[in-house]
Amino acid sequence: MMNELGNKIAGKRKDLGITQADFADRLCVTRQTVSRWENGSVMPDIDKIGDIASLLGVSCDYLLKDEIREEPRVLAAGEQAADEQEEAEDSGKGVSGVSRLLLAAKGKKVRLTFFEDDADMDLFNVDCTIVDFEGNWMKVATDTKKGHIEKLIAASSVLSVEFVKEDN
């Protein structure tokens, strides 16, 4: 898994003509960290996967699933996923009902409940905002006693989504 992920990151980064140093700067990590990801000695933190995918113009699924080897068509970093999502939304094809609901929830305040085994204590019983959603992953943000946090969570870990009325 790690070596395949590293190969995918390195390949897409090189295809886009981005140096390890530039890639590292954009992700707020060191060049050595990017090198370790690419050679498979360490895996990126889960909260970086969404940013890496966005920067490379690929899906999180493409990065994380070894069986997905086909490189998607790259327009520019971040453009492909949005372009294909719009087409799917317009046609109503290729997007599941749950995906359509989560796409509609993007930018809205929600309260998430999780399956017991997947409980996330930082997001337990708090209002948060779905910042982004792609395939099986969603990026959520909230303010806690620890400060502002953003997390990448698997959509499959969410038991329910309750929309929270926003104060005007």
Average pLDDT in the 54-70 region? 79
Is the pLDDT reported for residue 16 higher than 50?
yes
H/E run at residue 111 = strand 109-114
Residues 68 and 122 in one domain: no
**pTM, 2 dp:** 0.45
Q: Given this model, what pLDDT does residue 34 score?
A: 93
For the chain, how many structural domains are there in total? 2
Q: Is residue 168 part of a domain?
A: no
Distance (Å) of CA 166 to CA 107, 108, 109, 139: 12, 8, 7, 19
Percent of the chain's residues with pLDDT above 90 = 11
Instruction: Give the pLDDT confidence of 96-113 residue by residue, as tens digits.
Output: 556 667 777 788 888 888
Instruction: Give the pLDDT confidence of 131-141 residue by residue, as tens digits.
Output: 887 777 888 89
Residues 6 and 61 in one domain: yes
